[in-house]
Every structure is written in structure tokens, then in C-alpha cells.
Amino acid sequence: ITTWIRNPYGLYAEKILRLKKLGALQKEWEAADRGTLFHTILEQFVATYTGTWPTDAHERLHAIAAAVFNAEGLPDDVRLFWWPRFESMARWFIRQEVEHRAEGYRPALIEKEGQIVVTTDAGHRLTLHGKPDRIDKNANGHFAIIDYKTGTVPAAKDVESGLEPQLTLLALILARGGFQDLGTGDADKLAYWPVTGARSEKEPRVFPKKKPLDALLHETLAGLSSLIDAYADANTPYLAVPRPDYAARYNDYAHLSRLAEWGRGDKGDDV
């Protein structure tokens, strides 16, 4: 949905034209690969210890990480840089997990997809899918939706304005009973956990902040419905960058959308 908002043409190229980015002739290990690796490690660790917290959590997390690193077959030079970042991330994660569980939360759903059907007032329908990194539940029956971020964490203003609707869409799916293992429930905490392995890891970015969650969900549904109705019209173009100030950070289809060409005047000057 974020791509649909920021780069409709990219969504069109990927999902409708089914154009895929060609891989490198030789494997190049990138930040995205490190992010996938960290996600896999945390998924396995949290799934293993959904109940009783181990007293030797650091050692157990490191054991899982070592197995994942070995299975991935990382070159020695890549491992040399990534393992210290994992160790830094692991220290932060264990500390954060202990604080989070002290609030009564326990993992209830890990990396499982949910879905709901959204029907607009105009009668247009869309099946909305979402797969959270994890959803935790406390003794009061309330939920926390957590997403690990190994890259840039979305700004609070972008989440609450609807420009980055990932967490609020997941909360909407939860509220409508879209996660079969959880039933219908309300989230009282939406959070991005930065797990980059940076030397000075930031604190989790928790929502809601300025707006009540029910207001955020109402606005999220209204915004999604408007988007569905707009693109149900065959005359609506799939623009590459409808709002330049909010262009996507990464765009695999920039060369196809000819942004550089259309962004120049008759004499080749930038406009």
C-alpha cells in the first residue's frame, strides 16, 4: 500500500506488468540481505521462547544466529562485518525484549499472514493482506503489533498522516478478525523496533502518539477506500512520482518511468 501511495507506477510495473528486477550475475551481499538475516534470527528465537524467558537468553540467541549465519554460507569478509553488527543488535534486542515482557506481553503470532476484504461506499472491493513480524498479547487481552526495522524507521508524522500505513493497516486487519489464530482484538501499541546493529541503537518508535488509535484506524480505512475508488477508475493514471516530496527511497523502475527525461525542460534543464 505504501508503494501504491508513493510510486503507483512501480506497483503497476511489478504487479500488473509482472516485471522483475534482474539479479546480479554474481551474488552481491547487500544491506537488504543483512536485514533478512536478522529477521530470520529474531523470528526463530522469539518463536522458540514464546513462554518462559531463558536465563541465558544471550547465549541462546547467539547459538541461533551462528546456525543461521552458517546456513546462509556468507563469505568470510561479509561475516567479518555483519557478525559484530549482530552482536550489537542482540544486546539491544535482549534488553528491549525483557522490558517489553515486563509489561505483560507475550508473543501470540509470528510471521503469519492475515487478510480482510475492504468494501468501499462505492461498492469497490479489495482483499487486504498483511504479515506482521509479530503480534504480542498481554493478560488484559490487548495486543501489541511489532515490526522490526533493519533500515530507516518511518517518521511518526508519516505514520499518523497515513503516508506509511503498514502498522495501522495491520491493526485494522486485527480489529476485523483477519488473523485467524487471534480472533478479533484491539491493539493498544503499534511499534517499530530498530534492529540495525548500529552502535547507538534508537529506542522503539511507539504509536499512537498524538491521535487515539481508533481515530488512526478510521483515517486509515478512509484513506485506503479513497485509494481503491480512485484506481477503480480506468482513467486514473499510475504516476511514477505523484508527490515528489514523498517519493519512495528505492525505486527499481525509475529507468522505465523515464523520470530523468520527463523532469527536464526543452533545453535539458532540470525543472
CATH classification of the domain holding 84: 3.90.320.10
182 domain-assigned: yes
Say which residues have a Cβ less than 8 Å from residue 145's Cβ, sequence separation at least 6: 132, 134, 135, 167, 170, 171, 174, 187, 189, 190, 191
263 domain-assigned: no
Q: How do residues 167-179 score in pLDDT, each as one tens digit?
A: 999 999 999 999 9
CA gap 256, 80 in Å, rounded: 37
Percent share of the chain, pLDDT over 70:
94
261 falls in which pLDDT band (50, 70, 90)?
low
Average pLDDT, the chain: 90
Q: How many domains does the chain have?
A: 1
Q: Is the pLDDT reported for residue 269 higher than 50?
A: no
What amino acid is encoded at 135 in this protein?
I
The predicted structure's pLDDT at residue 271: 37
2 domain-assigned: no
CA gap 175, 162 in Å, rounded: 18
251 domain-assigned: no
The predicted structure's pLDDT at residue 267: 46
The predicted structure's pLDDT at residue 208: 79
23 falls in which pLDDT band (50, 70, 90)?
confident
249 domain-assigned: no
Say which residues have a Cβ less than 8 Å from residue 44's Cβ, sequence separation at least 6: 64, 68
C-alpha cell at 108: 501470540
CA gap 7, 244 in Å, rounded: 10
Q: Is the pLDDT reported for residue 163 higher than 80?
A: yes
Q: How do residues 40-70 score in pLDDT, each as one tens digit?
A: 999 999 999 999 999 999 999 999 999 999 9
The predicted structure's pLDDT at residue 255: 75
Average pLDDT score over residue span 185-213 = 87
Q: How many CA atoms lie within 13 A of 193 on its CB side?
A: 26
21 domain-assigned: no
Q: How do residues 104-124 score in pLDDT, each as one tens digit?
A: 999 999 999 999 999 999 999
161 neighbors 220 (Cβ within 8 angstroms): no
192 domain-assigned: yes
84 falls in which pLDDT band (50, 70, 90)?
very high
61 domain-assigned: yes
Domain holding 190, by residue range, is 28-232
Give the helix ranges, DSSP H, for the chain. 2-6, 8-11, 31-48, 57-72, 76-102, 156-161, 166-175, 213-232, 254-257, 259-262
